[in-house]
Amino acid sequence: MSRFRHTLIGRLARDPLAVMAIVIIAALVVMAVFADLIAPYDYTAMHMTDRFAAPSAEFWLGTDNLGRDTFSRLLQGGRIALTVGLTAVIISGLIGLVLGMIAGFGPRWLDNALLFFFDTLRAYPTIILALALAALMPRGLTTVIVVVVITSFAEYGRVVRTQTLSLKHSEFILAERAMGASFGRIVFHHILPNVLGPFFILAAMNLPVVITIEAGMSFLGVGVPPGTPSWGSTLKDGFDHIRQTPWLILAGGLPLILVTLGFTFLGEALRDQLDPKLRSGR
């Protein structure tokens, strides 16, 4: 039991902020995974006699302009949000991890070239670059994921590069080199484990950003196809009919707020536990 208390999971379990984050994230994941079982209605079913219905015992979050149940559509939208978010973060994170380590551990000219590439991508406003790329590609989840990956992997690359550079000249790495350690051993046994902490913190805090980008693209009409129950599409419907259905835009914004809070709290808790300076100060 004492060993568990000193593991990362054990330390997180004693952190109220981490517990709150895990509860929020777990609830969202369960509702998204079991959306078909939880949803009271088919998210495509139209109840034309109940258009713009207010929240009630029959329709918990009301209905939209086509009489579709808002709660059922938000549950399905959670699947889209988590699919896009997790897929994009994993792909962009892996690309950034590899390129960042190459930049930090490679020759100076390669580091400068990759750093210039990262800075060029980061110089463009994310939503502007996303809109430009989306205009050149067909609408769909694949396009959204590709756009998010292109606009976000540079951030991982810069963070990993910085960590790799700081470790590259540390005493224990120099000692390993003096003892004749191979390049693979240095990278996979010493550099990579020490880079993963900041990497996971950034991934946790970046996931709600990715979900928000997807929602923003769908809100602007360049994300998922029409009729797809994205959270951004729900916000768009609420904005278009805000005078008839003020609860619709509130319902569409609530899951985005919860996702942002949950993963931001998790990132903060991971930072507190994985950063040696912060842990030593407690």
Q: What is the CATH number of the domain that holds 16?
A: 1.10.3720.10
Residue 63 forms beta bridges with which residues? 69
Write out pLDDT tens, residues 174-214: 777 777 777 677 777 778 888 888 888 889 889 998 898 88
109, exposed or middle or buried, with CB in 10 Å at 0-12, 13-18, 19+?
exposed
Cα separation, 79 vs 72, whole angstroms: 12
Write out pLDDT tens, residues 49-71: 888 888 888 888 888 888 899 99
pLDDT at position 6: 58
Q: Is pLDDT above 50 for 278? A: no
Region of 170 (left: φ > 0; alpha: ψ -120 to 50; beta: rest) is beta
Q: Is pLDDT above 80 for 258? A: yes
What is the phi/psi pair of residue 245, to 5°?
A: -135, 75
pLDDT at position 280: 47
pLDDT at position 156: 93
DSSP-assigned letters across all residues of 26-52? HHHHHHHHTHHHH-SS-TT---GGGTT
Summarize the confidence of residues 270-279 as an average pLDDT: 66
Long-range contacts of 47-53 (CB under 8 A, 24+ apart): 52/241, 52/244, 52/245
Q: Is pLDDT above 90 for 91? A: yes
Q: Which of 6-15, 80-89, 217-226 has the lowest mean pLDDT?
A: 6-15
Handedness of CA 171, 177, 180, 186 (dihedral sign): positive
Query: What's the domain count of the chain?
Result: 1
Long-range contacts of 182-189 (CB under 8 A, 24+ apart): 187/101, 187/105
pLDDT at position 3: 61
Q: Is pLDDT above 60 for 4? A: no
Summarize the confidence of residues 26-44 as an average pLDDT: 90
Query: Which pLDDT band holds residue 120 (cuts at 50, 70, 90)?
Result: confident
- Give the percent of the chain with pLDDT over 90: 21
CB 159 within 8 A of CB 100: yes
pLDDT at position 12: 75
Cα separation, 156 vs 93, whole angstroms: 6
Domain that holds residue 146: 2-280
pLDDT at position 259: 92
What is the crossing angle of helices 231-240 and 246-274, to 10°?
Answer: 140
Q: Is pLDDT above 80 for 125? A: no
Note if the pTM is more than 0.75.
yes
Q: Is pLDDT above 60 for 281? A: no
Q: Report the mean per-residue pLDDT for the chain.
A: 84
What is the phi/psi pair of residue 63, to 5°?
A: -130, 165
